[in-house]
Structures are given as C-alpha cells and as structure tokens.
Amino acid sequence: DGARRRGAPAGGSLSISHGLDQLPAHAMELCAKKHPPEEERRVKANAREYNEKFQYASNCIKTSKYNIITFLPINLFEQFQEVANTYFLFLLILQLIPQISSLSWFTTIVPLVLVLTITAVKDATDDYFRHKSDNQVNSRQSQVLINGILQQEQWMHVRVGDIIKLENNQFVAADLLLLSSSEPHGLCYIETAELDGETNMKVRQAIPVTSELSDTSKLAHFDGEVICEPPNNKLDKFSGTLYWKESKHPLSNQNMLLRGCVLRNTEWCFGLVIFAGPDTKLMQNSGRTKFKRTSIDRLMNTLVLWIFGFLVCMGVILAIGNSIWEYEVGACFQIYLPWDEAVDSAFFSGFLSFWSYIIILNTVVPISLYVSVEVIRLGHSYFINWDKKMYCAKRCTPAEARTTTLNEELGQVEYIFSDKTGTLTQNIMVFSKCSVNKRSYGDVLDVLGYKAELGEKTEPVDFSFNPLADPNFTFWDTGLLEAVKLGDPHVHEFFRLLSLCHTVMSEEKNPGELYYKAQSPDEGALVTAARNFGFVFRSRTPKTITVQELGQPVTYQLLAILDFNNVRKRMSVIVRNHEGQIRLYCKGADTILLERLHPGNQELYNVTTDHLNEYAGEGLRTLVLAYRDLEESYYTSWAERLQRARTISEGREDRVARLYEEVENDMVLLGATAIEDKLQQGVPETIALLTLANIKIWVLTGDKQETAVNIGYSCKMLTDEMTEVFIITGHTVLEVRQELRKAREKMMDSSRSVGNGFTYPEKVAASNLTSVLEAVAGEYALVINGHSLAHALEADMELEFLETACACKAVICCRVTPLQKAQVVELVKKYKKAVTLAIGDGANDVSMIKTAHIGVGISGQEGIQAVLASDYSFSQFKFLQRLLLVHGRWSYLRMCKFLCYFFYKNFAFTMVHFWFGFFCGFSAQTVYDQYFITLYNIVYTSLPVLAMGVFDQDVPEHRSLEYPKLYEPGQLNLLFNKREFFICIAQGIYTSVFMFFIPYGVFSDNSHLADYQSFAVTVATSLVIVVSVQIGLDTGFWTAINHFFIWGSLAIYFAILFAMHSDGLFQLFPNQFRFVGNAQNTLAQPAVWLTIALTTVICIIPVVAFRFLKLDLKPELSDTVRYTQLVRKKQKTQHRCMGRVGRVGSRRSGYAFSHQEGFGELIMSGKNMRLSSLALSSFSGRPSTSWIETLRKKKSTGGDSSVASSPSGGGPDRTLKV
C-alpha cells in the first residue's frame, strides 16, 4: 500500500498497537517514500480523490526487514559487519591458497558456516513472525462509509478522509475526529491504556454541529474540511478547525480518538480519519528500535582488533626470522630443502611465511569463542525462564528472557527507569480511611478502643443491609457504619458529598447491578465507598443527579460542575436539593482546600490536619471535603457572570478561574478521605534492596504529580528523613533553570554547612560539578513535571538537569509523554556512560524500553505492548531484584570467568607455535598435528569452560540478595576489562613458555625421546592437563556436570590420541595416520610423565600462590561472604543451642532485614551490615570493600557518600557495606 511518512521525527520508528512487536524504524522505509515535512494537514470528508493528491500515509503497516529475494544478501551483509565474521572469512580465503596454508581449509569453514547458518535461521524466524504480525494487524476489519454504504474494509485499505464506524470494545484503527456517537450529546468513552498507561476510562465528545450526524445518509453528505496541525507526537494536544456550511468550529484533543484506544461502554460512534498508519500519534511516539549490544560485546570487538594487531606483529617477527634464516642457513640446503617454484628469494619466502603464520596463530581468537558465548547466554536465558521464584501463579505467568544477548549486562545496571501505574502499583484504588467531625475511621480497634492489627479473626464490615452494595468493597471499622445508621448528620453529609461531587457515569445492566465508569480510579473508589455506606449514586443527566440515600431515591438539580485541573487541584459541584436549597460541594488537595475554609471551628481544622498528616505518613492519597451554602440571589448573579465569561474569547480561562476562586471560599470543613493505591507486593523491599546495590531508581510516569509523589512515599523512594524534596514546576526556560540552580545551591550549601569545604563556582566543568554534587551531604529527591521537563531536556539545559538529578537519591518525573521518557533515558546513557534499565507495562513505556540498554516489560493490566518490545518480561516488579542481583550478577560473573579462561587457554595453546618457530627455521611447521589443532577448542577444552560459564556461582542466591554490595563489581566492570585481559594473556604466554621449553629441554638431552611426534604428544598432553587443572581452580561451584565434563574431556583426549596412533586407523587411512603406536610408546616413558608433571606444577603453582595471598591479604566481599558461611556452618554444628536461627532472607521492611545467627540488622540510617566477630575474626583490620570504593572514586570523583567504613579502623567487628 506504499505507506508514506510525513512530518515524522528523524529516525522515528514503528510501534504496532494491539498485540504486535515493536520493530525497527528502517522497516518503514521499505514501504514508504519520504516527502518534505507538512506544515499543516488538510482533510476533506468523503473525498478520497481530493485527499490523495497530498500523498498522505495509508494505514498499512510494514515492519518486516526481508523478503524471499532480499533475505540472503541483506542477512549476509549484516552478519559480515561483525568484525569476527569478517576476520574468519579472511582467514578462510588465506587457507584456500596452497602456497601459504599449512592447515586444512575445513578447520575454519565448518565453524564459520555453522555460525552464519544458526544466525540466519534465527533472523529468518524473527522476520517470519513480523510478516505474520503485519498481516494480522493490516487485515483487521473496519466499517468504512463508501458511497453512502458501510462496507467492511481491512485496516490497510483505510485512507485519510474516510468516515469509520466503531463499535463497543473495538480498537481505534487510526487517529479520528469524533463526529457522533450513540450516547447523548455526542459523548463516548475510551480506554487509553495503550497510549498513556492509564486503565481508567476517559470521555471524548463530538462538537455539537456534527453530534446529530447519527445515520449513514447524513454522514454520506457530510463534506466538511479539517485544517489542522501536521503529524506529531503530542498525545495531549490537538489543534485544528472544521470548516462546514460556511462556518468554522474549533477542534481540540477532546474531540479526537487516537489509534491504540479502545471504545468502551459506547454502542457505536463515527469518526473521520485525520492521521493514518505511521502518522498516528501512537506511532510518532515510538522510539527507534536499536540493536542492543553489551559492554562486553563492544570490549570483545576491541580486543579482537588488538589481538589481530598482536597476531600481525608475531607474523612479522617470524617472517623476518624466516627471511634471515633462509638467507643465512636455508640457502646452503637447497639440494635437500629446495624452495617452491614460486619462491625466488629469501624475502619472498618470508612474505609467504608471514601469511602461513597468520593462519597457524589465528587460534588466539577461534570462532568457537563466539559460538560458546551464545551457548552460555542461551543457558542463562533458560535459567531465567525456569526460575520458579519468578513465576506468578495468580496469572500463570513465568519470567521470560526474550533476548539472549544481554544477560551479563543485567549484572552491570546503575540506573533503573520505572513506570508507576501498573509497574510499581496494581492500579487498584481502595477506600482505606476517613476523618469526619474530628474522628478518624478505618483502623481496627480492640475491645479497649486501641488500634489493633488485622488478624485472621478480624471480620470486615457487614453491608448486607444494602442490596446495592458492591460485594468487592471491604472496610474494617464498624464505627463508620454505626454512625450512618444512627443518623449522624456530619457522616451523612460526608457521604452525600462523595455521591454527588464527581464525574462518574453509572450503568445498570440488570436491576440492582450497578457499574460505575470513572475517569480516575480515585473517583471510582470514593463513589463506591459512598454506595456501600448507603448513599448510592444511581444515574445522571446533563442537569440532574439521582442518589439513593439509605433506600430513598433523591434527585438533585445539577447547576454547575467546576472541573478539576492541575492548577486548581480540586473539583466542585453546585446542586439544588428538593427543598430548593443551593449547596456547593468541593473536594480537593489539602494544601489548596484548607486555605479556603471559613475561619470558624479551629478545633475541627486542627484535628483533621493531624489525621491528614497521619494518613500521608502511611503513604495514602488524601483529599479534603468541604461544602458551602449559597443564597439564591448570589448564585443567580454568579451564574450570569460565569456565562458571560465563557462567551468571551480573549482571556476566557482566566476569567472563569477567578469566578471559580470566588465561589469556592468560606467553605465548611466536612472531613478527609484516604485512599490506598495498592502497591504491588514487595515493591518497597525491592527498591530498598536495589538502592543498597548502588542502583539509582527514577520513576517516569504520565500520572499527575500528587499521585506520583504519594506512591514515592509508599514505596519508600521518598522518606520524611530526606533533607529536602525539590519540586520543579516552572513553565518557562528561565523558571526551570532558576529552580534547578536553587536546588543545586541548596545541596552545595548543605555540604559546606557540614564542613565539606566545597565552594560553589560560578562556572565549572560539567563532569567536575556532577562529581562534587554526588558527594553532597544529606539525601535529596527531585520531582519534575512534564512541561518543566520539556525545557530541562533542551540542549542548553540538559546537563544542568542531569547534574541536579544525579545528585539526588530519588527522581520522579510526572506528566511525561512516552517520548520524554525515552529522552530522559537517552540523556543518562549519553553523559553517564552507565548501564540503564527501563521497566514498564504499557504501550506508553515502549519508547524508553527500547531506548535503554535493557528493557523489561511487566505483563500486567495494560496490554502486551511493553512485553513485546522488551528484552525480559515477568508479572511483578519485585522479581526485578532476582533478575538483577541473582541472574544478572551470576551471568556477568560467569561470562567474565569464561572469557578470562578462554583467552588464557588459547594463548597458552597458540604461543607454543611462536616459540617453536625459532627452532624449526621459521618454516610455519606446527607443534601439534592438525587433528589436535582442530579438536582442541571443539572437543578437548570446550565443555569444561561451557559448564563453568553456565553453572558457576561465587555465593548462593540468597547471599546475593542478603549482600547487595556484591553487585558493585559488575557496575564498575571489574571482572573483565582491558587490565584483566592483559593479565589473562600474560598468564597464557607464561604457560606457553614452560609448556614448550621444559619438554624441549628434556627431549634435547634424551636420545630415546628425540622425535618430533613424541615431542608433539608430550606438549599436547601437558597442555590439556594444565588447562584442565586451571579450569578446576577457576570453578567456584562444582556440579556433577562440571566433574563429568572436565574428567570426561581428559578421557576423550586420551581415547582419541590412542585411536589416532592405532593400527586400525592406519590400515583404513595410511596417508593420514602414519605414526602408528607413537602415543603408546611416548606415554610409556616415565620421563614423559615426569616432564608433564613438572610442567603442570610450574604452570599452576604461581596461580595458586597468588590467589592464596590475595585471599589472605586483600579479600573481596564475595570471599568474606563465603568465609562467614563456612564459619556459620561450624557454629551450627558446635553451638546448636546458642541463639535462634532466623528464616533465611526474611524481610521485615524495606530497610531492616533479619538474618541467621551471626548477623546484625541492616540499619536504616547507615545502610550497612555488621558481620559477627566470630565470622570475621581472621579478617579484622583487612580491607574488604575499600578496593571497590577506591575504584568507584577513580571512576566518579567524589564517590558514594553512603559508603560506611569501620568506625574503629579495624576491630574485631568490621562494618561491611552491603
């Protein structure tokens, strides 16, 4: 269908809604031609020919990368962009040249073809599912009005300017202008979970002039033209004008239905397509899908280039040696050792020798390295998938690793960016407590009237007296129901307000079965509470509200609704009761409403304020309720002034706001409500644990500021102990800059006040300022609104924002768009050079999930878009601690140990050829036979290192969770870096030296062992034994598989060795296996075994000695943890009666853990864990984590101010930061 992109951001990508994967932006270019950006869009209804001349994008979505013809060339081109694949292809070409090849071509082509084939099959499978998903979405049916008749059309055939009919529970196919609906006044209800992550319903309304177009005959003659803004990513804004019947009508976002929404509780509606396909706001908001590589991948690519340079240097040295040898010595042996026909000089011989040695020495980086890495990653992914502790039985949802390339990076995360609604919370609001007439309700009381804990015997309030009560509503304080039944006028008025002051819609499908359609979960919870306590909201019309009060139906005349907004932070209704009395009911934020109360009854004000503080301390969402009686004459005058203000075009909003302010004053306080937005289970504990692991958590939410801040307190991201919470709400660039600077100055002032001695310079380098700020005293939090964030992310201010945010312990960004979420993640990636993880559950989180190094999707209430775009998915936020602190840390540890050992064993193997070159006339003769060279990495040494890479552990999983500080080496990239790489190759070179020269020296002095083949067998056997002993030393967690692979590999080596020197193979292949009985004869010599033993001891003893001294003098935290575990086991056997052993890993709160005997508590203020004196008696006075902190300070000057050191400098009790 030739979808065309117009006005889209550069590099923007697709986000297929309603069950499709999120796929690369470049896929769109395959089916779309580019045009200059639009300045405005003109759309005429029922006029396809007119609209097509603008070449607007169709509704066709194409996300696949290949087709049958292009798959092979494009896929091979992509694969050979990998440095390693190109390197091995180059070696293969060299091996096909007989003049320089001393190895058979099959040693390279077989593994290369295998790797390319596996990757191609994987890519083809992925693209097949993309094609399948494309067809699924593009083939969905929609009713399109064509020539006055509704016809079924596939989504991909829908065009801009078409009129579409939607029915209840259908997805919106494109961005539509709502024309009419089945509801009165052109209203319709939509769910926007795919767009902004909110599951509550929202109301949209057609403009009055089109709301009467309810049948197809009228709509067929509708020829209005819309002139509006070009395609953009602003979900909450739309500006345009409808020109029809020689008049114009303004259009806003309230008139639009966006792709990704679902029509709810509305029988049908008609809409005019304004934006289609890639031009829709959902697609415009999806960030580019990026190919994600780990830092280890990038480092490996660099190391491959370094190794290739080292390989060239060795080749040059040996080639020069060959030229000199041929010139000085070889020339004298031309009769016995003639040059090849093509060789006419010693220089050319050296040139050919150079390429021969490149082939021989290429095993320093065998292709099996990349195959092994993928196998290990696959194993780690299966461990995540199989983890029963990350399985949610309630939803039957296991954890899923949707990629196999990022596992080790899970052990290096420094920043987590989290959505709020549905990720931290369940998005379920519960009416928890309330305060009415100086009394707080909601706590369970014992017989003496004191607060009691909920127990198994606690019975909830019985609402059986009310046939209309919601059976799912639960309340525990019977005192509130008793007050209702006793006729307490204050309680009655309290619930009357809750039943009237809202915008909820009621639906009664069956008699007595009420269903509320609320725009926010808060309102739904409040109206449901009033319903259960006898004040049942039954129905509404534009002018009336009907409530059943304690069984009696009462209808109120609705005079006005003063709606909620972020500035007013309150809403009011003005109603007239059956007695003719006019009353204003108001509910809103305490900070706003308490200022507008009548000055009387100060005692009620004080008690209610105390209750509000108590509720807020529990992390509950609070509202204050008040009312005001209005005189008829005053109301009439006020209503007239309001009507005039609404008809004035200039300054209309300010005039209306002032009239609202006027009437919402001198109110009488009724009470307060407290609603619990239920956190997911384990969220506070998870956040506390991740914070202790030095992971910074930022919450990026589309929700309003008050909600986000309340949740921040509930999940313990924000605490009352924090020095200050900075709230950035500026509407201009200047205001935002000033607020950020004030925040930084306060942080710097606090540092100076505690004696840090910092002075705040006017102009200082960004990196220096950041490091100074990160070392400030005290704990701070930053809360910033979306409109302020838009300015903060501008190029000239982004660094100031980042510096301020990174100095804070917690950061909360409110009212942010999906694209802003991605921009915040990109900002941290750009300047902090840290591994980022984004976690969310809705389509509005897709951009940041795809932007972050690692994306995690939660399969919750908001569709599957986040899961489909993610790298990992599970059902609850609390599983993130296991994903990072257990699976991530283990994956990083295993991959680092694997790489260190792999480079070591291959340098030890390959460098023997280099030393041998000096004793074989630099003739490119190999030490080992070609079968050993082929099998060394595939058979003899592959399985033991794979077992270590898949199964190894340093500490058990529960210790990883008890000691979050164990996570820090991954963040600092300590276990595999350039320094560790050089140590590994130095050990490999050291091993190769003794591997060659000890047997060479023995064979030089022993006439019985003077042949080349016996020497090759001895060196090869020494090598296999040494590297097997080394893998045994490197293995920290032994399983039956490790034993089987290590000893089995040795057994296979000897079996193959004896088989290749047997009579049977010689008789079958006499030209290939000529050395019959050589292995048997060689290994029958005691001198050979003594040589092998001596070589093994000399190669291994220095490693053992170094590790022993390091463990004794400078142990790592993991060493200390293992030691204390051994001590604890001894204590258990010797002192079973001493002390009570607590449950492993139990958590009492987010900041205090209980451990088994030998451990103290995790103190909230210091956040450190003290090990028992018995456990650390032999480690007293030794640094255990100081080396980590030293490196952290080098990485980011200023370090982590929360690092705890021993107060005494080395007593029997050491303090370890964990």
Catalytic residue ranges: 419
For residue 670, give the H/E element and its range: strand 668-679
For residues 860 and 877, give the distance between their C-alpha atoms in angstroms, rounded to a whole number.
Answer: 10
CA distance 867 to 855: 9
d(CA 630, CA 646): 21
Strand partners of residue 201: 191
Long-range contacts formed by 109-113: CB under 8 A, 24+ apart: 111/366, 111/367, 111/368, 111/371, 111/938, 112/85, 112/88, 112/367
Token couple for 1025: 């034994």
Buried b (16+ CB within 10 A) or exposed e, 54-73: eebbbbbbbbbbbeeeeeee
One-letter amino acid for residue 315 of the chain: G
Q: Which of 944, 1093, 916 shows the shortest CA–CA distance to 1022? A: 1093
Count CB-CB contacts under 10 A for residue 885.
27
* Token output for 144: 């399109």
d(C-alpha 571, C-alpha 587), whole Å: 6
Q: In angstroms, what CA-CA distances link 1088 with 169, 912, 1014, 1027?
A: 81, 18, 9, 18
Which among 535, 524, 514 is positioned nearest to 470, based on CA atoms? Answer: 514
Distances 1117 to 651, 689, 886, 1153, 1174 between C-alpha atoms, Å: 65, 17, 16, 19, 16
The structure tokens listed for 278 are 């890639």
Compute how many other C-beta atoms are within 10 angstroms of the C-beta atom of residue 516: 18
Contact 182, 269 (CB under 8 A): yes
Contact residues for 554 (Cβ-Cβ < 8 A; gap 6+): 546, 547, 548, 577, 578
Q: With the C-alpha atoms ordered 357, 359, 365, 369, is the resulting torsion angle positive or negative?
A: negative
- The Cβ of residue 1064 has, within 10 Å, a number of other Cβ atoms equal to 10
Name residue, tokens 């028992």.
Answer: 1172
134 to 63, 65, 886: CA distances (angstroms):
7, 12, 37
DSSP 8-class letter at 938: I
Comparing CA positions, the residue from 527, 523, 526, 502 lying closest to residue 514 is 527
One-letter amino acid at 710 equals N
| CA-CA-CA-CA dihedral for 380, 382, 383, 384, to nearest 10 | 90
Beta bridge partners of 176: 257, 273
**CA 3 to mean position of chain CA atoms:** 31
Query: Six-digit token pair at 140?
Result: 């969905």
Both ends of the chain: CA-CA distance in Å? Answer: 58
Q: Are 793 and 800 in contact (CB under 8 A)?
A: no
CA 1188 and chain centroid, separation = 25
- The DSSP bridge partners found for residue 728 are 784
Q: How far is 1168 from 1185, CA to CA, in rounded Å?
A: 12
d(CA 806, CA 997): 55
636 φ, ψ to 5°? -60, -45
In degrees to the nearest 10, what's the CA dihedral of 1011, 1013, 1018, 1020?
150
Cβ 239 vs Cβ 251: under 8 Å: yes
Spatial contact of 758 and 745, defined as CB atoms under 8 Å apart = no
